[in-house]
Amino acid sequence: MQFNAKVTDICKQRSACAIVAVDSKNRFTDSGAALDKANDGGLSKLLKRGDLGKSAGSTLMIPQVEGGADRVLMVRSSNAPISQAEFRKLATASANAVKDLKDASSYLTELTVTDADIQWKAQQTALAAGLASYKFTRCLSDSKEHPLAKFTVHGIDKKQLKAAQKGAAVGAAQAQGSNVARELGNLPGNICTPNYLVSEAKALAKKHTKLTTTVLDNKKMESMGMGAFMSVAKGSDEPAAMIAMNYKGGKTSQKPIVLVGKGITFDTGGISLKPGAAMDEMKFDMCGAASVFGVMNALVAMEAPVNVVGIVAAAENMPSGRASKPGDVVTSMSGKTIEILNTDAEGRLVLCDALTYAGKFKPSVVIDVATLTGACVIALGSHATGLYANQDKLAEDLIGAGETTGDRAWRMPLWDEYQPMLNSNFADMQNIGGREAGSVTAACFLARFTEEYNWAHLDIAGSAWNSGAAKGATGRPVPLLMQYILNKK
């Protein structure tokens, strides 16, 4: 989709639809008032009929009005100033209302939002529009691309135009990256295999000279001592891969941010087989890897002046005669031994070797992203990503990035008191810690492999996809990660 920000007169700006806000007292912002005047008060008359709902985010589309736009979309807001959360709600509601049109122009930036400037409002408006434009069509026999192709954000005045353009560009990039992640996450496991992810990474490198891709196959990983990773991969006929996408957009002296994504392209649970109900959703177990792909795609597209390495640990977790068994002991790349008590706790087994491998890039920080534990869903639901970190400043920066974008995270404890739950009688550690604090002990397991650098873990088991009628990948936490990276440039 094409995004831009302009200072536009709503009565002259050509588009399929102009989006304006109306508060609880039926008052327009400036552009809406101008359009109402151009229509001899026609919009106000419609409001008096009560056709626009009273709750924030209610919308009403009006066709064939006087002015530059073919339609007007009125969106109900509270009285000014409104909260950031409400602004996101209005931006999302309006974007969903116009997503089937060829183009739209939004004047929601005229709203007064608590602790938010024009750049933030433009960013949120563009992000919402980009997300709304996505539709999964890859596996439909009669598919049509979403028609929304152009979206314009109103810049209010010339003094604020540059800030609005910058905000719209960032929001558009975050949406692009999120949609890449959603597409990969939504693909079925028979298409999106580890080898498919390899081909995607190589194709991305061919398009961008500042990005190089390195792939480690099963044989190479075995020779490097990645016994934990291979204990998962060996149960599948599909070859596994450790993919490293190295983007060098910053100064050569700048240490890279390393992102590590769990890429289990389908998770049966292995010998510790999952229940059959909703097992189809285990194609989403690679959403951590998908988010890494999303971030890398967006960064190279916007030529961000940063150095970022995206590592993807890609494998299937399958039951077979070669699969790991409960009670097996394996040796990780770090040399530490692990007793596998549950083969369905496989994510931490692939990640621990990936985290050791990440150290070779001499990172400034390492952030892993994984649909790691059902326990995190129980703890936080789908609203927040679980955040663990071995450095307070890193945790604060990630939480701040989430608050800016609305892609929120909540810090969880990473205390030494939890570590004894991983003690094993037969190895250096076991891969599960018991029924209590499952998300915490999983993070404590990973922490044992990240002692040499600044590290954060994002458990996205609750935030990476939706179930039920709205089943599908969400693209989270791409906005959070991108905001964090761009804040560091």
pLDDT digits (tens, 9 = 90+) for 458-482: 999 999 999 999 999 999 999 999 9
In the predicted model, what is the mean pLDDT of the chain?
97
pLDDT digits (tens, 9 = 90+) for 273-301: 999 999 999 999 999 999 999 999 999 99
pLDDT digits (tens, 9 = 90+) for 149-162: 999 999 888 999 99
- Is 71 one of the annotated active-site residues of the chain? no
Query: What does the alpha-carbon distance between residue 396 and residue 197 come to, in Å, rounded to a whole number?
Result: 32
| CB within 8 Å of 248: residues ≥ 6 apart | 210, 211, 212, 307
Which one is catalytic: 274, 336, 411, 488? Answer: 274
Name the residue type at position 254. Q
pTM exceeding the 0.85 threshold for the entire prediction: yes
Which one is catalytic: 99, 121, 348, 448? Answer: 348
Return the residue matching tokens 């990660």.
481
Closest CA to 239 of 222, 256, 255: 222
Q: How large a percentage of the chain has pLDDT more than 90?
A: 96
**Side-by-side strand order, sheet with 18-22:** 2-6, 150-154, 103-106, 18-22, 71-76, 59-63
pLDDT for residue 143: 78
At residue 22, what are phi and psi to the nearest 5 degrees? -135, 125
pLDDT for residue 142: 86
pLDDT for residue 65: 75
Residue 41 has pLDDT above 90, yes or no: yes
pLDDT digits (tens, 9 = 90+) for 92-130: 999 999 999 999 999 999 999 999 999 999 999 999 999
- Is 88 one of the annotated active-site residues of the chain? no
Q: How large a percentage of the chain has pLDDT more than 70?
A: 100
Closest CA to 299 of 69, 48, 484, 78: 484
Please compute the mean of the pLDDT values over residues 68-90 and round it to a whole number. Answer: 97
| CB within 8 Å of 192: residues ≥ 6 apart | 184, 265, 283, 286
Return the residue matching tokens 């890897």.
289
3-state SS of the chain? CEEEEECCCCCCCCECCEEEEECCCCCECHHHHHHHHHCCCHHHHHHHCCCCCCCCCCEEEEECCCCCECEEEEEECCCCCECHHHHHHHHHHHHHHHCCCCEEEECHHHCCECCCCHHHHHHHHHHHHHHHCCCCCCCCCCCCCCCCCEEEEECCCHHHHHHHHHHHHHHHHHHHHHHHHHHHHHCCCCCCCHHHHHHHHHHHHHHCCCEEEEEECHHHHHHCCCHHHHHHHCCCCCCCEEEEEEEECCCCCCCCEEEEEEEEEEECCCCCCCCCCCHHHHHHHHHHHHHHHHHHHHHHHCCCCCEEEEEEEEEEECCCCCCCCCCEEEECCCCCEEEECCCCCCHHHHHHHHHHHHHHHCCCEEEEEECCCHHHHHHHCCCCEEEEECCHHHHHHHHHHHHHHCCCEEECCCCHHHHHHHCCCCCCEECCCCCCCHHHHHHHHHHCCCCCCCEEEEECCCCCEECHHHCEECCCCHHHHHHHHHHHC
Is residue 262 a contact partner of residue 371, using CB atoms and an 8 Å limit? Answer: yes
